[in-house]
Amino acid sequence: MVVRRRWSGGLRPPGCHGFPHRRGDRASGLGAGNVFYQIFPDRFANGDPSNDPRPEEYEYRGKRPRTFPWEESPGDHAFSVVFYGGYLAGITKRLEYLDPLGVTVLYLTPVFISPSNHRYDVADFEHIDPHLGGEAALAALRNHLSVRGMRYTLDIVPNHVGSSHAWFTAAQSDANAEKAAFFTFKQHPDQYHSWLSVQSLPKLNYQSEKLRRRMLTGPDVVLRRWLRPPFSADGWRVDVANLLGRQGPILLGGEIFRILREVVKDTLPDAYLLGENIFDPTAQSQGDQFDGMTNYASFTFPLGHWLCDFRQGVRGLKEPITGPPWTTEALEASWRLRLGHPLGPGAAPVQTCSTATMCRASAPSWAATRPCSGWRPSSSSPTRRRRASTTATRSAWRT
């Protein structure tokens, strides 16, 4: 029986913050013991201004892209089209920095063609964004990672596409087009299901068998393509895994993710599958869907409170934090309470801190998107003091 969960008005289902993980099978080789380093490609390293997004190239939601100098604040320029010009070759050049840190896996947020800096509104899954260097740059990064014995995962959004994706523009222009069935129009052409009612993110309709063939079961679907040479990604992080295949009373997520897992593992048996789930991911953590799940409520949000007075703004978690940043003691207590559950044999807990999602959800655009190499806390800043304190605390935990 399908049970449709509802929560509103501050009510949450029991166990919303729980994270029971009852896997009995072997964890993917990529999950256990590795150090992942998440990279938001536009903000990591810009060594080639010639491929920076320029205002004359396109308009997106009434705004023009603009690439800012590395140390300059974007001011009030529209967040999604603020660029700093980072590219994949910049990551390759800095492997000599990442490797000695102990990083073994790079997790790249989306790199496919998109008009925005975050690229979660994909316009074309088949190509790497030329602003990042295109397919050649990704293949080169792969080769350099292999030399160092490092691996990488890509980020895909099977829940929705960007409104500039060719499937959606075809569907909008003709209600009888083949691609119209890929979406759910309430009134064609302008009223349709979308991610959290964001009109630039039309939701894919997995009741369509044709869509399933294009996204999941066809021989050359993107889920397979980017795992194959010369790109040879080592896995996927799947965006908004708690919402895929979910439209009102229709709940196809479990069915779709079992198919997705079969496709991915058939292509690369040791591929790592990480799903994003803001709420309770128990059902997706049983071994037939994902190898690991994000755990925002128990790990990421407390860390955000401690680091920068992060304000929760994700729908369904409307609890604005109005006080000062958490103390280290509060962070430690929270993590001990929420992450200290015994996991049992074979369990593979994975804790992730997705800055991409934090920045998309609610963090101030400047604070969340400043270039990672351009900021250092001063020696007397509260942030550094808290970090120093926590380093000591972590050392105590190990003894």
276 is catalytic: yes
Among the listed residues 36, 69, 51, the one whose alpha carbon sits nearest the alpha carbon of residue 371: 69
Q: Which is nearer to Ca ion, 48 or 99 (CB)?
A: 48
Spell out where 132-210 has E strands.
Answer: 151-156, 185-187, 191-192
Instruction: Kindly tell me which of 46 and 208 has the beta carbon lying closer to Ca ion.
Output: 46
Given 42, 52, 121, 239, which residue is catalytic? Answer: 239
User: Which helix or strand (DSSP H or E) is residue 67 part of?
Assistant: strand 66-67
Q: Whose Cβ is closer to Ca ion: residue 49's or residue 316's?
A: 49
The contact set with Ca ion (CB under 5 A) reads: 46, 48, 51-52, 85, 87
Q: Would you say 49 or 382 has its CB closer to Ca ion? A: 49
Which of 174-205 are b and which e, b meaning 16 or more Cβ less than 10 Å from the residue's Cβ? eeeeebbbbbbbeeeeeebbbbeeeebbbbbb
Active-site residue identified among 129, 155, 234, 276: 276
Tokens 């559950």 belong to which residue? Answer: 341
List, in order, residues 6 or more apart from 245 with CB less than 8 Å away: 206, 251, 252, 253, 255, 256
The dihedral sign for the CA sequence 169, 171, 176, 177: positive
Closest CA to 116 of 8, 24, 51, 42: 42
We find the least distance from the C-beta atom of residue 93 to Ca ion, in angstroms, to be: 12
Annotated active-site residue 99? The verdict is no
Q: Which of 308, 322, 300 is nearest to 386 (CA)?
A: 308
Which residues are part of the catalytic machinery?
239, 276
